Structure 1
Amino acid sequence: MLQLRWLVLFLSVFSFVSLRAPVAIAAASIARTIVVNLEGGGDFKSIQQAIESVPDNNNKWTKIHVAAGVYREKVNVKSTKSYVVLEGDGAQTTSIEWGDYNGDSSGHDTNTSATFTSYASNFVAKRITFKNTYNGFAKLTPAVAAWIFGDKSAFYYCSFIGFQDTLADTLGRHYFKGCYIEGVTDFIFGYGQSIYERCKISTVKSLEKPGYVTAQGRNNASDNSGFVFKWCTISGPQATYLGRAWKHYSRVIFYHTFMSAIIVPEGWYIWFSKGYEGVVTFAESGCTGPGSDLSGRVTWEKQLSDDELKKFIDISYIDGEGWLEAQPPLD
């Protein structure tokens, strides 16, 4: 995961950039469509080339349709490439795959291991897989499938596949709907302010037991970040905690989520925040399945009131201004 010093620097840069993000002119409609096809017949054979063709400081929604195929490339959406819709033919048929990991022979670390990275605000991905092909069964190490820095980013029916640190939900407000997320350790991590709705979360077999679904990095009481899971499912072959407290004010909420028997009875692990149990917000409400039994949970798990819970499960937690409705409609 990111080193603290690097993140503090980036947080300040992110705040500066986000205030200057371009404003959409043609919200909710597609101004241009670019086709990527490995077999030819489209505008490009490379996803990165298609992204680079979008004008800097773009403020008109541009769709990049990626035909079925395995695209073996690293993809980076710069902060100047806003208002992009990246659309596959289906998460089972269109995938972006690469295999970097922390400490590989090229000197890469967690920050650069990602198969896909997006810095842009107002970004949408639909029906596409982001996969880090590094096999961490015997030796887990950070190997990121997707790294999301941009504000107002949404992912619909996408898959994120890896072992450790699969999905870096790093900064900004994010919405994940109908997605599949797979991994073992901290495989949803970061400082994001995000809602995961009707997503399937799956562990994979590894020599490490148990794993951790989340590692959220909320830093202080005024930090709005947190991960909220609504109507999701958690299953797989590997025992797992629901999360561990990466930072002292870590916040993760599971709401009406089905939990299979793989959930460790304690549910949560304090990790780096021992002594800060009173300010960590780990909570569950209305969850079902054999793993949702609260009788063995840690004593410091939060019991949220109905009013407190509503604040997080309502879409206004990430979208009080209507940016989701301003996106082009799903087709």
Structure 2
Amino acid sequence: MWWLVLFLSVFSIALRAPVAIAAASIARTIVVDLKGGGDFKSIQQAIDSVPDNNNKWTKIHVAAGVYREKVNVKSTKSYILLEGDAAQTTSIEWGDYNGDSSGHDTETSATFTSYASNFVAKRITFKNTYNGFANLTPAVAAWILGDKSAFYDCSFIGFQDTLADMLGRHYFKGCYIEGVVDFIFGYGQSIYEVSLRCVRSNCCVTQRCKISTVKSLQKPGYVTAQGRNSASDNGGFVFKSCTISGPQATYLGRAWRHSSRVIFYQTFMSDIIVPAGWRIWNAQGYEGLVTFAESGCAGPGSDLSGRVKWEKQLRNDELKTFIDISYIDGEGWLDAQPPLD
């Protein structure tokens, strides 16, 4: 019965093997062009044209230009791929801020808001044009609440609360994020990492996620303010092979809630990092619950000798849990999204 033993062995291996998930195809393409060469001149009009409860991927290609509008992707507008020509040439810009004359709070100040699950953006800039050099106040560039959201080669520009990584599982690859205070904040479960793009068979381009401070009267600043509030919450920000630089000193982060979790892995840190690295802020007395950690980082700002005593030292198995893509993608939702070109 050797053949039966062989069959059962092969069948058992097949059951354990990961199942390849086919990437989705694009069912419809909408073109937005300020000059009138597309289907719409406004990004919001293009998004509104997608049927509610949509379940087929729709590409909205946004031609080069500065689109001065507030954009909102409602929870009923899932399966949208928002694509610019390049982050350097395609941008969405607006200038609301918390407490402006319109009465906007932090959330409604956002230039771009997405509540929808299964959302992808690539090669586009989200910018809040409010100038916070002398008067910092929350002024969000992008507010992300939908689950299964991915951003490729995008830029997020602001001063305070630039990127609201609020709720859900999110993936940022090869992106640029700029600000001063809490400029990556929220409750999200997210990985930020390097992008490796092969433009020809023998030529690959590496684009790290770049985190940059900007000049402000607020000194020093804070890169992150993560809001995990309990041990049962899966949230946390993981930065893999990123860079942190800029003209102004900064902490890596401060604890917005009692179980705040932020991990920097193999990230280059310039000399702008404050030696202590972290601030306890709203988690005073809960230092044992906060997970702020660094591993394998490089650069003059990565010196751990002056770090706060309560910074976590993660075991290899603990670290692997967070740096592996399964931390945000155990079921393969990234592979099920449309392929990148």
Task: Give TM-score scaled by structure 1 length.
Answer: 0.92
- Structure 1 gaps, min length 5: 1-25
Distance, in Å, in 1 between the alignment partners of 2:222 and 2:244 is 12
Distance, in Å, in 2 between the alignment partners of 1:81 and 1:241 is 37
Query: For residue 50 of structure 2, what is the aligned residue in structure 1?
Result: 54
Query: Where in structure 2 are the equivalents of 1:135-214 lying within 5 Å?
Result: 135-198=131-194, 199-214=209-224
What is the total number of aligned residue pairs between the two structures?
306
Of residues 245, 264, 284 in structure 2, which corresponds to 1:235? Answer: 245
How far has the Cα of 1:121 moved from its partner? 0.2
Does 2:261 correspond to 1:265?
Answer: no
Query: For residue 102 of structure 1, what is the aligned residue in structure 2?
Result: 98
Does 2:130 correspond to 1:134?
Answer: yes
- Structure 2 gaps, min length 5: 1-21, 195-208
How far has the Cα of 1:171 moved from its partner? 0.1
The AA in structure 2 aligned to 1:279 is L
The AA in structure 1 aligned to 2:102 is S
Distance, in Å, in 1 between the alignment partners of 2:304 and 2:77 is 45
- Equivalent residues of 1:245, 1:273 under 8 A apart: yes
C-alpha RMSD of matched pairs (Å): 0.7
Query: Where in structure 2 are the equivalents of 1:1-331 lying within 5 Å?
Result: 28-198=24-194, 199-331=209-341
Q: For residue 282 of structure 2, give the secondary structure of its aligned residue in structure 1.
A: helix
Distance, in Å, in 2 between the alignment partners of 1:102 and 1:121 is 26
Structure 1 vs Structure 2: percent identity of aligned residues? 89
Distance, in Å, in 2 between the alignment partners of 1:115 and 1:235 is 25
Q: For residue 222 of structure 1, give the secondary structure of its aligned residue in structure 2.
A: coil
Distance, in Å, in 2 between the alignment partners of 1:225 and 1:316 is 13
How far has the Cα of 1:109 moved from its partner? 1.1
Query: For residue 21 of structure 1, what is the aligned residue in structure 2?
Result: none
Deviations 1:85-108 (A, max 9, x none): 000000000000000000001111
- Equivalent residues of 1:100, 1:115 under 8 A apart: yes
How far has the Cα of 1:27 moved from its partner? 5.4
How far has the Cα of 1:132 moved from its partner? 0.0
Distance, in Å, in 1 between the alignment partners of 2:57 and 2:283 is 42
Distance, in Å, in 1 between the alignment partners of 2:332 and 2:105 is 36
Q: For residue 195 of structure 1, give the secondary structure of its aligned residue in structure 2.
A: strand
- Equivalent residues of 1:27, 1:61 under 8 A apart: no
